[in-house]
């Protein structure tokens, strides 16, 4: 069949450090798709937490694509790592009310996350001490390590006669690392339970349609139907182009769609790039515009949400103390990790990083979420440039919008531009935006060279203002 040249995949990609609101964005697109269209995840695993509101209920999807409540087919692609038991549990949370299992398929190439991967991840992080990444502990890194080390078990392997044998072999290898290198004592009973669950998950996987990603994607495109590739994590967490080593272990950028779904790059269209009106980050690593800087980073590492609420019951969003302002922003945006419940670090929008993310993903359309969170602020700030002190250039200070190779070690100072914030709440203005918000949006569009197609004004699907400016 001749390829329809115009049919391209639309990647939906996070432009920051994850949690930009991709889930809501995909669910919104999904509501207009037909049963012949396709929504596919192409990387990551249940380190993702994509929140959507459906019929007044809040769901957090980790492995299942966020468009599950629409009509489209859904696919877990070749570039993913799948914890079978976590997947089974997740499907149970929605399958009763939405019989979607007939619409779901999984790639045989996706990597299985096995119980020892979870231990290697969490114990490995503990052993790193101060150098930890702040992983979600879902076994993602070790599972991808096995893939590139050519040891991994993949979904297609579960149908082979030697699956049990290969599982045992890999588990034994991992146990040697845990016991001999990490000095970890495995709780035999606990581990047995985990294995039991793993095999329940495998049994569940066997009941689903297993189909090559490249086949289902190309068939959908060839029919002239739409394919949405739902990104997980965010651009700055990409294993190659993110702030290495404070990254996840997959390719989160739009190019990842190529290897994650087995399609040629020419089949990948312009991306929809999603970003927050400010920035958040969970886990370790550099964050130039973080409110409260290092103090916030340490606080978020150590403090639990409840504890923060006790100490700062009413943080002031307009506080002169940026650390307190960061806490207030976290409270206003409910910035608590959807997967791990950790405090998300908060800061101002960072144009150099956003610019980079837009370019590397070919994000032709942008979505800005959570503008409503800035209600009540007197002035918002945006980092327009960095001042970099470069030892290689004789220690002179240089103003730049360039992305830096090693953000963690670079000596940079952020240059900010301030914007006055609207009076009252965004919701008071209906489907229009106050003039202050429009000034901010137009500044961003001009600076970033891409158009914002809609603005998020609340967590639910209808909480948006479509582009009218
Ligand atoms: P994802 O990982 O990119 O899908 O994002 P998460 O679901 O982890 O985090 C985004 C959070 O913001 C979720 O709690 C959403 O319900 C919420 N959210 C999304 N868009 C908006 C918005 O425009 N305004 C507000 N207030 N909340 C939003
Ligand atoms: P969604 O799809 C935010 C972060 C972790 C950690 C680093 C590595 O909801 O946007 P990993 O478990 O992948 O080895 O952790 O990446 N991280 C995320 N941060 N949103 C996510 O997903 C994330 N997935 C991983 O906090 O810093
Ligand atoms: Mg999330």
Assess whether the C-beta atom of 44 lies below 6 angstroms from ligand 1: no
pLDDT tens by residue, 120-166: 999 999 999 988 999 999 999 999 999 999 999 999 999 999 999 99
Residue 397 confidence (pLDDT) above 90: no
Phi-psi region of 306 (alpha: psi -120 to 50; beta: other; left: phi over 0): alpha
Assess whether the C-beta atom of 41 lies below 6 angstroms from ligand 1: no
Average pLDDT of the chain to the nearest whole number: 94
Residues marked as catalytic: 19, 50
pLDDT of residue 388: 87
Residue 376 confidence (pLDDT) above 50: yes
Ligand 2 binding pocket, CB closer than 6 Å? 14, 17-19, 47-50, 133-136, 138, 140-141, 232-234, 237, 248-249, 282-283, 338
- Read off the pLDDT band of 95 (50, 70, 90): low
CA 51 – ligand 3 centroid, Å: 7
CA 22 – ligand 1 centroid, Å: 8
- Read off the pLDDT band of 2 (50, 70, 90): very low
pLDDT tens by residue, 223-282: 999 999 999 999 999 999 999 999 999 999 999 999 999 999 999 999 999 999 999 999
Residue 393 confidence (pLDDT) above 70: no
CA 49 – ligand 3 centroid, Å: 4
- Indicate which atom in ligand 1 lies nearest the CA of residue 338: 8
Assess whether the C-beta atom of 373 lies below 6 angstroms from ligand 1: yes
* Percentage of the chain lying above the pLDDT 90 cut: 85
Contacts of 243-248 spanning 24+ positions with Cβ under 8 A: 243/285, 243/286, 243/407, 243/408, 245/133, 246/133, 246/134, 246/283, 246/284, 246/285, 246/286, 246/408, 247/133, 247/285, 248/44, 248/47, 248/140, 248/141
CA 434 – ligand 2 centroid, Å: 34
Q: Whose CA is nearest to atom 3 of ligand 2?
A: 18
Assess whether the C-beta atom of 49 lies below 6 angstroms from ligand 1: yes
- Read off the pLDDT band of 81 (50, 70, 90): very high
Ligand minimally distant from the alpha carbon of residue 46 = 2
pLDDT of residue 402: 80
Q: Whose CA is nearest to atom 16 of ligand 1?
A: 459
pLDDT of residue 406: 82
Q: Which two tokens stand for residue 466?
A: 């479509």
Q: Which domains does the chain have, with CATH numbers?
A: 9-108+209-274 (3.40.440.10), 111-205 (1.10.300.10), 290-347 (no CATH)
What mean pLDDT is predicted for residues 4-13? Answer: 82
pLDDT tens by residue, 401-452: 887 788 888 788 999 999 999 999 999 998 999 999 999 999 999 999 999 9
Q: How far apart are the first and last CA of the chain?
A: 42
Tell me the best of 62, 117, 136, 297 to mutate to test the pocket of ligand 2, counting ligand atoms within 8 Å of each CB and taking the most. Answer: 136
pLDDT of residue 53: 93
pLDDT of residue 3: 42
CA 18 – ligand 2 centroid, Å: 7
Assess whether the C-beta atom of 218 lies below 6 angstroms from ligand 1: no
Tell me the best of 459, 462, 464 to mutate to test the pocket of ligand 1, counting ligand atoms within 8 Å of each CB and taking the most. Answer: 459
Residue 96 confidence (pLDDT) above 80: no
Residue 4 confidence (pLDDT) above 70: no
Alpha helices in 207-320 (DSSP H): 213-222, 256-261, 293-302, 305-311
CA 24 – ligand 1 centroid, Å: 7
pLDDT of residue 219: 97
**200-214, 356-370, 380-394: which range is least confident on average?**
380-394
- Read off the pLDDT band of 1 (50, 70, 90): very low
Tell me the best of 24, 44, 47 to mutate to test the pocket of ligand 2, counting ligand atoms within 8 Å of each CB and taking the most. Answer: 47
* CA count, 13 A, side-chain hemisphere, 215: 9
pLDDT of residue 377: 97
CB 135 within 8 A of CB 179: no
Strand 363-369, strand 271-276: pairing: parallel
pTM greater than 0.85: yes
Residue 392 confidence (pLDDT) above 90: no
- Read off the pLDDT band of 107 (50, 70, 90): very high
Residues 6+ apart with CB under 8 A from 183: none
- Read off the pLDDT band of 76 (50, 70, 90): very high
CA 309 – ligand 1 centroid, Å: 20
Assess whether the C-beta atom of 23 lies below 6 angstroms from ligand 1: yes
pLDDT of residue 337: 83
**78-82, 96-100, 424-428, 430-434: which range is least confident on average?**
96-100
* CA count, 13 A, side-chain hemisphere, 217: 30
């Amino acid at each position: 069949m001749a390829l329809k040249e115009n049919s391209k995949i639309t990647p939906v990609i996070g432009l920051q450090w994850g949690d930009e609101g991709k889930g809501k964005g995909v669910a919104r697109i999904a509501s207009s798709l037909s049963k012949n269209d396709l929504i596919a995840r192409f990387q990551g695993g249940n380190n993702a937490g994509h929140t959507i509101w459906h019929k007044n209920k809040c769901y957090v999807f980790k492995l299942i694509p966020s468009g599950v409540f629409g009509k489209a087919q859904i696919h877990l692609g070749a570039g993913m790592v799948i914890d079978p038991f976590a997947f089974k549990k997740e499907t149970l949370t929605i399958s009763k009310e939405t019989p979607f299992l007939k619409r779901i398929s999984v790639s045989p190439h996706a990597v299985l996350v096995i119980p020892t991967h979870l231990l290697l991840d969490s114990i490995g992080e503990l052993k790193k001490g101060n150098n930890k990444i702040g992983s979600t502990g879902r076994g993602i890194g070790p599972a991808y390590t096995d893939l590139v080390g050519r040891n991994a078990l993949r979904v297609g392997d579960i149908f082979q006669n030697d699956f049990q044998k290969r599982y045992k072999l890999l588990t034994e290898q991992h146990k040697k690392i845990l016991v001999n290198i990490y000095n970890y004592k495995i709780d035999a009973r606990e581990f047995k339970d985990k294995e039991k669950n793993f095999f329940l998950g495998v049994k569940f996987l066997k009941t689903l349609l297993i189909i090559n990603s490249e086949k289902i994607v190309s068939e959908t495109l060839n029919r002239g139907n739409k394919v949405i590739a739902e990104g997980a994590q965010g651009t700055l967490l990409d294993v190659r182009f993110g702030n290495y080593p404070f990254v996840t272990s997959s390719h989160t950028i739009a190019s990842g769609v190529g290897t994650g779904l087995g399609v040629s790059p020419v089949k990948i269209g312009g991306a929809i790039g999603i970003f927050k009106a400010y920035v958040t980050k969970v886990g370790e690593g550099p964050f130039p515009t973080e409110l409260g800087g290092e103090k916030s980073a340490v606080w978020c590492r150590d403090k639990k949400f409840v504890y923060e609420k006790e100490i700062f019951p009413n943080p002031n969003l307009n506080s002169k103390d940026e650390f307190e302002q960061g806490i207030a922003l976290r409270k206003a945006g409910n910035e608590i990790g959807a997967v791990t419940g950790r405090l998300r670090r908060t800061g101002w929008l960072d144009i150099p990083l956003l610019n980079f993310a837009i370019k590397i993903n070919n994000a032709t359309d942008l979505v800005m979420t959570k503008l409503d969170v800035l209600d009540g602020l007197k002035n918002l700030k945006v980092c327009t440039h960095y001042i970099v002190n470069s030892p290689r250039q004789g220690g002179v200070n240089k103003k730049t919008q360039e992305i830096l190779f090693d953000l963690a070690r670079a000596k940079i100072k952020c240059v900010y531009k301030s914007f006055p914030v609207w009076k009252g709440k965004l919701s008071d203005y209906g489907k229009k935006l106050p003039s202050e918000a429009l000034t901010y949006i137009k500044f961003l569009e001009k600076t970033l060279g891409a158009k914002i197609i809609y603005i998020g004004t609340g967590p639910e699907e209808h909480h948006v203002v479509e582009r009218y400016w």
